[in-house]
């Protein structure tokens, strides 16, 4: 696999300025709000030769095992402001976004229909259904599920609440990404100092775009490095090509990152703000899951991907050029985000058992 890519043409000055404090204020006003913990990992920092390693643990955001509700709730707020007669929202998902949309819709008295790729685990589908959503299985991959959900555009009283946009004029995916800014606003308040490097899982790029905006406009700015599965490194391929490209995705246990092409809404931030990307294997993610579990952190495959990528960045000679560009060393303060907990409990248990 291609292990790492140094972005050939970053232009961080062009990265959009993050949204104001209204998103964080909105989330703080919701029932059940509490900031997720920022955990110090001093033993891991010492093993990697870093000054400090901090992990934002998103297992428990508004009672859900992933960060996605922060984006879904804010985007739905914006949708309802524009479409007060809205009765239903549709979304495509590999699991976490769909559950977040279903929860946000139920809280606002709306129906939800979630389109899932054929290979989405039954445990994730059941968790979405438990939120009151209608489940539609799509005979295809994530991109086919996105296309199916997009048909809501012509349905009276319905709208798609997507975290991906393949049409640059679609604003909803941008609102979802804006919602994710709360994760980083909290981290900044909790850290007691600036970060030097921020690692961000990519997928379609909505979360990474929020991370990049935060990193580029922190004072002083931080380096942003993307994290992808080796079998779904669509941002890495797109950076190399200088434009969004579509790749084959044979599959990965990092289900939420199993995406074939970046969102058009996120692409400008990825293109201009990433210093580079690191690709990891499922086995590396599983090792990081087990090690985080031993530290008391429940992290699913996607959540542990950030630690797996940091280890590769520091230790793998193929990542040396990118590590030098990031300035990683004994004075570095690094931010990781564990984006999900045990979203598929049975699979998580098997991984921790090494089976």
Judged against a pLDDT cut of 80, whether residue 20 lies above it is answered with: no
Element (H, E) at 278: strand 274-280
The three-point CA angle 246-247-253 to 5° equals 125
The CB-side HSE value for 117 (13 A sphere, CA atoms) comes to 20
Order of strands, edge to edge, in the sheet holding 88-92?
A: 134-138, 111-117, 88-92, 158-160
In angstroms, the Cα distances linking 177 to 70, 172, 212, 241, 348 are: 9, 9, 11, 24, 27
Percent of the chain with pLDDT over 90: 91
CATH, domain 69-162, list 3.90.850.10, 3.40.50.1100, 1.10.3720.10, 3.90.550.10: 3.40.50.1100
**pLDDT given for residue 101 in this prediction:** 98
Domains 4-66+177-353 and 69-162 share a fold: yes
- Give the Cα separation of 98 and 166 in Å (integer): 18
Residue 162 has pLDDT above 90, yes or no: yes
CA distance readout (Å), 168 to 244, 264, 352: 12, 6, 41
Q: What is the pLDDT of residues 222-264, one digit of tens each?
A: 999 999 999 999 999 999 999 999 999 999 999 999 999 999 9
Contact status, residue 211 vs residue 236, Cβ threshold 8 Å? no
pLDDT tens-place string over residues 75-114: 999 999 999 999 999 999 988 999 999 999 999 999 999 9
Decide: residue 245, CB within 10 A, 0-12 exposed, 13-18 middle, 19+ buried.
middle
Average pLDDT in the 1-30 region?
Answer: 91
pLDDT for 104-159, tens place per residue?
999 999 999 999 999 999 999 999 999 999 999 999 989 999 999 888 777 899 99
Q: What is the CA radius of gyration of the chain?
A: 19
Is it true that domain 4-66+177-353 has CATH number 3.40.50.1100? yes
Angle between the N-to-C axes of helices 122-129 and 345-353, in degrees from 0 to 180, rounded to the nearest 10 = 140
152 DSSP assignment: G
Would you kindly state where each structural domain of the chain is located, as residue ranges? Answer: 4-66+177-353, 69-162
Judged by DSSP in three states, 173 sits in helix
Model pLDDT, residue 144: 93
Buried residues in 122-133 as b, exposed as e (16+ CB within 10 A): eebbebbeebeb
Q: How far is CA 331 from CA 188, 225, 261, 310, in A?
A: 18, 18, 35, 15
d(C-alpha 281, C-alpha 342), whole Å = 19
Query: pTM (2 decimals)?
Result: 0.96
pLDDT in the model for residue 19: 74
What the block records as the tokens of 343 is 């979203």
Mean pLDDT of 287-312: 98
């Amino acid at each position: 696999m291609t292990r790492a890519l140094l972005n050939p043409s970053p232009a961080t000055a062009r990265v959009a300025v993050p949204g104001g404090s209204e998103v964080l204020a909105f989330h703080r006003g919701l029932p059940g709000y509490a900031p997720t913990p920022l955990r110090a990992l001093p033993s891991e920092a010492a093993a990697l030769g870093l000054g400090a390693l901090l992990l934002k643990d998103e297992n428990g955001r508004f009672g859900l095992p992933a960060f996605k509700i922060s984006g879904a709730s804010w985007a739905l707020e914006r949708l309802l402001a524009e479409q007060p007669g809205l009765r239903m929202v549709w979304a495509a998902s590999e699991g976490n976004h769909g559950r977040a949309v279903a929860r946000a819709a139920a809280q606002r008295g709306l129906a939800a229909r979630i389109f899932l790729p054929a290979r989405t685990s039954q445990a994730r589908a059941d968790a979405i259904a438990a939120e009151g959503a209608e489940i539609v299985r799509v005979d295809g991959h994530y991109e086919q599920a996105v296309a199916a959900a997009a048909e809501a555009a012509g349905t009276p009283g319905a709208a798609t609440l997507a975290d991906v946009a393949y049409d640059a004029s679609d604003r909803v995916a941008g609102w979802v990404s804006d919602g994710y800014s709360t994760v980083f606003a909290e981290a900044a308040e909790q850290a007691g100092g600036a970060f030097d490097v921020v690692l961000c899982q990519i997928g379609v790029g909505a979360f990474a775009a929020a991370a990049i905006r935060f990193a580029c406009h922190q004072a002083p700015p931080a380096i942003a490095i993307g994290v992808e599965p080796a079998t779904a490194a669509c941002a890495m391929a797109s950076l190399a090509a200088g434009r969004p490209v579509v790749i084959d995705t044979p599959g990965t246990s990092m289900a939420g990152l199993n995406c074939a092409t970046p969102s058009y809404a996120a692409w400008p931030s990825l293109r201009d703000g990433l210093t580079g990307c690191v690709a990891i294997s499922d086995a590396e993610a599983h090792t990081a899951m087990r090690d985080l579990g031993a530290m008391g952190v429940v992290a699913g495959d996607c959540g542990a991907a950030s630690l797996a990528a940091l280890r590769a960045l520091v230790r793998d000679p193929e990542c040396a050029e990118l590590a030098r560009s990031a300035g990683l060393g004994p004075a570095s303060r690094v931010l990781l985000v564990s984006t999900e907990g045990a979203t598929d409990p049975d699979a998580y248990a098997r991984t921790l058992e090494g089976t």
